[in-house]
């Protein structure tokens, strides 16, 4: 029997990516549901933690308690060495609270305008948190993919900073089809590192059903 797992995001691109990731990497014991499907259309959690793990854990617990379901949340960011790790935790709102992906990328490229290629090393980092309702325990998985920030955008796949994130082979993350991206992305790695926790949660639910 499949158990419902709430994916704690209102971002349709991220939700689509998680559905594909589960199809590729996780067995069929889970049925992924979006917040809007369980009456949490306008539910939000303030992400003011000092680490990815803190933000992801807070989201997972809050969504899980609100829905009464196990929940998965992630917090991820782009870390650029030449910017001392920025935008980091503030990646989604780098150009301002109401900024879109294009504005964030434009600000990043401007900040690096005078930085040569060899000093543009960067990485995507993701922390996945899993929580049961009405408990404080959170299980985590982390994933990192190394690369650099390109001089110009390229590619129309993916979302966020994907068009400016260059992999070691020179391709942008936004040039990868979903199947390839889901083999190497920071979310794919984080999910793989949280697989043991997903299995343990499913076994717990099996025993209680």
Active site residues: 75
60-83 as b/e, with b when 16 or more CB fall inside 10 Å? bbbbbebbebbbbbbbbbbbbebb
Centroid of chain to Cα 127: 7
Strands 138-149, 121-131: pairing kind: antiparallel
The CA angle 194-166-145, to the nearest 5 degrees, is 20
Task: Give strand ranges (E) for the chain.
Answer: 3-7, 30-33, 71-80, 121-131, 138-149, 165-166
What is residue 146's three-state secondary structure?
A: strand
All residues at 6 or more sequence positions from 143 whose CB lies less than 8 Å from its CB, including other chains:
125, 126, 128, 185, 186, 187, 188, 189, 190, 191, 192, 193
């Amino acid at each position: 029997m499949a158990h419902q797992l709430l994916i704690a995001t209102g971002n349709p691109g991220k939700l689509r990516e998680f559905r594909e990731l589960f199809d590729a990497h996780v067995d069929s014991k889970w049925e992924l549901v979006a917040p809007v499907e369980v009456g949490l259309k306008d539910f939000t959690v303030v992400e003011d933690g000092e680490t990815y793990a803190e933000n992801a854990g807070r989201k997972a617990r809050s969504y899980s308690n609100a829905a009464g379901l196990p929940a998965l949340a992630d917090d991820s960011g782009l870390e650029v060495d030449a910017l001392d790790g920025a935008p980091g935790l503030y990646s989604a709102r780098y150009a301002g609270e109401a900024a879109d992906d294009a504005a964030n990328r434009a600000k990043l490229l401007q900040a690096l305008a005078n930085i040569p290629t060899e000093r543009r090393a960067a990485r995507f980092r993701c922390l996945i948190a899993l929580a049961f309702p009405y408990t404080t325990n959170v299980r985590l998985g982390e994933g990192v993919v190394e690369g650099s920030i390109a001089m110009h955008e390229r590619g129309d796949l993916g979302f966020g900073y994907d068009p400016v994130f260059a992999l070691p082979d020179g391709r942008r993350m936004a040039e990868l089809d979903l199947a390839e991206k889901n083999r190497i992305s920071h979310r794919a790695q984080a999910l793989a590192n949280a697989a043991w926790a997903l299995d343990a949660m499913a076994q717990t639910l099996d025993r209680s059903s």
